[in-house]
A and B are shown apart, each in its own frame.
Chain A
């Protein structure tokens, strides 16, 4: 997509535990770039790499980006970000831009799961689970490894199950052992996968019920790409669950939009907008 030179551009960088995401939007809501890359241990350097890719994809110079908001657990490590905001606020904003009727958001990422409650287009409450891998993407990754399968294939395979084998362990390590012992009993992989989806849906449902789930329910994060988990969640919640076309990007999109709103607000008040130098500085662990 060729960007016009007069428009203003805003970037959102979402550094999650597993994936780093960048979205660039203009003042008319058009998305100019959406880039997803693995976070890894070097996420300070990777923020630069993903940003570079996003600029290349949009054909924009870095100088054309008016404001950058960083979010996600690695948000403190984006040297070129003008502002950092939590993934809670950014997710809410991103989802609302796509689903204005959203009241409940369930986000399951690589390492955490969270539930957000919205009222009148605003975040009003949230719950998070980020100390335990069970019920997150990491849980599915561990299981995919155990089976020698690709993470991306788990969802479709689980849809071929003929029965659901319940997985009762609530701990990832124990669940892995349970899965192995089920396999040795000759149970079909597909049926075990279906059981795992149910286990994730159970955990998530228990967590978000504290918020009193109201429709529309929107499901985001990497795990939302797993059709089996989406189906299990619908069943457990007893209601429709909406999934954006690119469920990984909600946080980065929200960050970009919030940056745009922040700048607009500053302009309206005739206040200066402080921004960092548009340079992809290699962060070191000694700078802040």
Chain B
């Protein structure tokens, strides 16, 4: 009998075959809800007893099928996800939730529905501005999602169930924040690649099990002898999705510690809890629209504070990127890698501004781009190494 693995070893094991746990769950009669990116409100999925399962791409798998449905000059991550879907890599998924997190996902939604054919598919529209008008629209979208989800699950989503699910997901957010706290010291207690493995594993498990694994990992890295090395440059990684551990490994192997990130398999979904409001949908609505700092949302100086004629450039940058200063100060960051997958318009348009912001708060930074293929990673090694020589 094989020894059951724990902590980071278990996280690594899950990442080697991410669907292992949900396949078992399905044998036991469970329902698995696939989702793209961090915008589908997972609380609503969990509330109905389903297991949310994040869909990723695979850099090692050449895109061969998705190009029948999508243009080639298009987000290579979404192309890869769809390609895997068409190749039945996500066959165990009972349904899919997609959102208008970015235009690529919105445009690919119909194509996905047509080419992959899940029993359930729902697309949620998300406004890009943050104000009460937008919240009203978004709440309507979430109520529509609730209705189709209830119909699919053949059960009602009571306030109690939803509040319980919010509590469980908030617990996960709090545990991830605890994990990130352990990256503040020098040396950080957990490396960038290990953190990514942990979070990918968490996105492959029912929330309760993921929380238990997070606790194990936190305990493990606090007490282990061998961890990241001290005295290396401390980097922040910003940008579009990093779902391949090798990219993180390549960065650290150049001679640095990635101590914090603003990416969507990283910290982005976890900084703030969902407020438990009288109507729990209200808290969820506000959280996903206002609390998640992703380039997809148009953040700006609050309308009440802004001059009617023009905005001040620096307060505008503060309103958009001020949260990064918190990371830079809290995690003692020496430099930022501003990275994006090719054709990511959402992040691409923010690149000049976020670089300006980093420079304005004294953080050296460079821009890295790759096309979500294994071969496109190697050239990044020279850029990262050059950057580290630059800030040495």
Contacts and interface: CB of A to CB of B under 8 A. Distances in A.
Nearest to A85: B389
B366 A125 contact: yes
Contacts of A131: 371, 376, 379
Interface in B88-145: none
B332 interface: no
Q: Is the interface of B mostly helix, strand, loop or mixed?
A: helix
B185 interface: no
B379 A86 contact: no
- Range class of the B interface residue count: 10 to 19
B383 interface: yes
Contact of A88 (B364, B367, B379, B382): B382
Interface string A81-92: 000011111000
Contact of A124 (B371, B376, B385, B390): B390
A126 interface: yes
Interface string A105-128: 000000000000000001111111
B362 interface: no
Contacts of B389: 85-86, 88-89, 123
A85 B366 CA distance: 18
B386 interface: yes
Contacts of B390: 88-89, 122-124, 126
A130 interface: yes
A73 B386 contact: no
A214 to B, nearest CB: 16
Interface string B353-376: 000000000001011000100001
Nearest to A88: B386
Given A124-B390, A125-B366, A126-B366, A86 B376 contact: no
Interface residues of A, number: 15
A123 B364 CA distance: 11
Contacts of A124: 364, 390
Nearest to A93: B389
B366 A86 contact: no
A102 to B, nearest CB: 16
Contacts of B386: 86-89, 123, 126
Nearest to A91: B386
A11 to B, nearest CB: 19
B382 A87 contact: yes
A85 B385 CA distance: 8
A72 B389 CA distance: 14
B322 to A, nearest CB: 23
Contacts of A130: 379, 382
Given A85-B389, A89-B389, A73 B382 contact: yes
Interface string A57-100: 00000000000000001000000000001111100000000000
A124 B389 CA distance: 10
A103 to B, nearest CB: 15
Interface string B33-60: 0000000000000000000000000000
Nearest to A72: B382
A128 B379 contact: yes
Interface of A: 73, 85-89, 122-128, 130-131
Interface of B: 364, 366-367, 371, 376, 379, 382-383, 385-386, 389-390
6 contacts: A89-B386, A89-B389, A124-B364, A124-B390, A130-B379, A131-B376
Given A87-B382, A88-B386, 8 more contacts: A89-B386, A123-B389, A125-B366, A126-B366, A126-B390, A128-B383, A130-B382, A131-B371
